[in-house]
């Protein structure tokens, strides 16, 4: 029993090379993007009833529903408007595209430990390093007003779209329904109804 506990306590994940870590992060990124990205014609709406002024009873539910359903599209729109704000400075645009890629591959979509020169790099060190590089790039390039303007325009466009886009007929897939608690809520409601049903006796 003592040997078993000692073995379990010293168990560690087998590290893989940095190139394999990046490769798996790219796979996670593309898989997530293809899973959540909605067709752009659906985002823009094809019928006359796709956009309407929200009423008081739909104001609260419409925006969250659209944000969940079109979250990948909205992320691309915000990233695109932020990139367009740097179009006047190609060097800054390339630099921030590289930093954005590093954030995606080394932090947000990385599931494996990062090993450099035989040493495992902690997630906190990766976070602090990326944050330091990002702040330094903004300070050196002096593009904070442009980035803030582009980011704000993207958020504003997505917010207005989420409020005006009719969310009727937009259904999440099975995995999204489970992650948002929709399936659990329906199951719970069914259980409650069953318990409340009168006994046949």
Q: Are 59 and 165 in contact (CB under 8 A)?
A: no
Looking up tokens 């929709």 gives: 182
Compute CA distances 131 → 21, 55, 93, whole Å.
20, 41, 17
d(CA 62, CA 31): 27
The overall pTM is greater than 0.75: no
């293809």: which residue's tokens? 34
Q: Where are the domains of the chain?
A: 18-23+54-195
Give me the pLDDT at residue 175, please.
55
pLDDT of residue 190: 45
Query: Is residue 109 within 8 Å of residue 25, measured between CB atoms?
Result: yes
What pLDDT is stored for residue 187 in this prediction? Answer: 43
pLDDT of residue 170: 73
**Residues of the chain predicted below pLDDT 70:** 1-14, 46-49, 56-59, 169, 171-201
pLDDT for the residue 13: 58
Q: What is the pLDDT of residue 6?
A: 42
């Amino acid at each position: 029993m003592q040997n078993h506990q000692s073995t379990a306590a010293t168990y560690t994940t087998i590290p893989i090379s940095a190139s394999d870590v990046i490769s798996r992060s790219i796979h996670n990124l593309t898989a997530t993007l293809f899973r959540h990205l909605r067709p752009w014609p659906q985002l823009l709406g094809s019928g006359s009833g796709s956009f309407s002024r929200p009423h008081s009873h739909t104001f609260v539910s419409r925006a969250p529903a659209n944000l969940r359903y079109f979250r990948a599209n909205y992320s691309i729109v915000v990233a695109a408007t932020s990139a367009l704000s740097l179009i006047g400075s190609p060097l800054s645009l390339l630099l921030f595209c590289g930093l954005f890629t590093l954030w995606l591959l080394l932090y947000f979509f990385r599931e494996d430990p990062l090993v450099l020169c035989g040493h495992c790099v902690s997630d906190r060190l990766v976070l602090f390093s990326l944050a330091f590089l990002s702040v330094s790039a903004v300070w050196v390039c002096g593009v904070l007003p442009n980035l803030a303007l582009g980011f704000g325009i993207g958020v504003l466009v997505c917010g207005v779209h989420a409020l005006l886009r009719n969310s009727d007929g937009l259904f999440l897939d099975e995995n999204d329904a489970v992650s948002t608690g929709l399936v659990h809520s329906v199951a719970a409601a069914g259980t409650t109804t069953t318990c409340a049903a009168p006994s046949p006796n």
